[in-house]
Chains A and B, each alone.
Chain A
Amino acid sequence: MDGPDIPTSVNEPLDLVKLSLSERVFVKLRGDRTLQGVLHAYDAHMNLVLSEVEETVSIIDVSEDGVAQGVRTAKRNMDMLFVRGDAVIMIAPPSS
């Protein structure tokens, strides 16, 4: 292959996710959902296993004529969670 085989090097996008194993990550999902939790496992489909998860669901209130009235958020905590990869949009280290 190209380049020396250094185990810690970042050669493909998912290597960046590997660096976040056992760290707190921010995950953006389809359907206006975000998660924050400690990453324990992922695979090529971006299926994830997270612990100490806080889920935030954004609910946009819309009046009858279709004008956005503002955003409400609902939060929920879960101990240990499997997330199916097809809903994942983005995985990031949390903004500290």
Chain B
Amino acid sequence: MLMFSVFKTLTEQVVTVELKNDLCVMGTLKSVDQFLNIRLDNIKMSVKNCFIRGSVVRYVQIPRTAVDTTLLEDATRREAQEGKK
């Protein structure tokens, strides 16, 4: 659930999604779901927007300024603790 929340906070940011077949897609993150499927808008391709199945993603490059690292580390510790209960 943690990564789902992370991506929800990243909506409307410009990200680069690198797929397992080495294809890179840069665009505006419009939405994400629990499987980390991703919907991108304004992509620089023959089509304007696309939906990417979560399982084919290798990396997502995120703008650094969009992430609060301290908050992220605290949330990670909290989720790791909850997982044990």
Contact = CB atoms under 8 A, between A and B. Distances in A.
Contact of B36 (A15, A18, A22, A84): A84
Interface of A is mostly: mixed
Given A15-B80, A41-B73, A86-B55, A80 B63 contact: yes
A45 B77 CA distance: 15
Contacts, number: 79
A60 to B, nearest CB: 16
Contacts of A49: 3, 6, 62, 67, 72
Contacts of A82: 3, 6-7, 59-62
- What 5 A-B pairs have minimum CB-CB distances, sorted nearest first? A82-B60, A80-B62, A79-B64, A41-B76, A80-B64
Interface of B: 1-3, 6-7, 20, 36, 54-55, 57-64, 66-67, 69, 72-73, 75-77, 79-81, 83-84
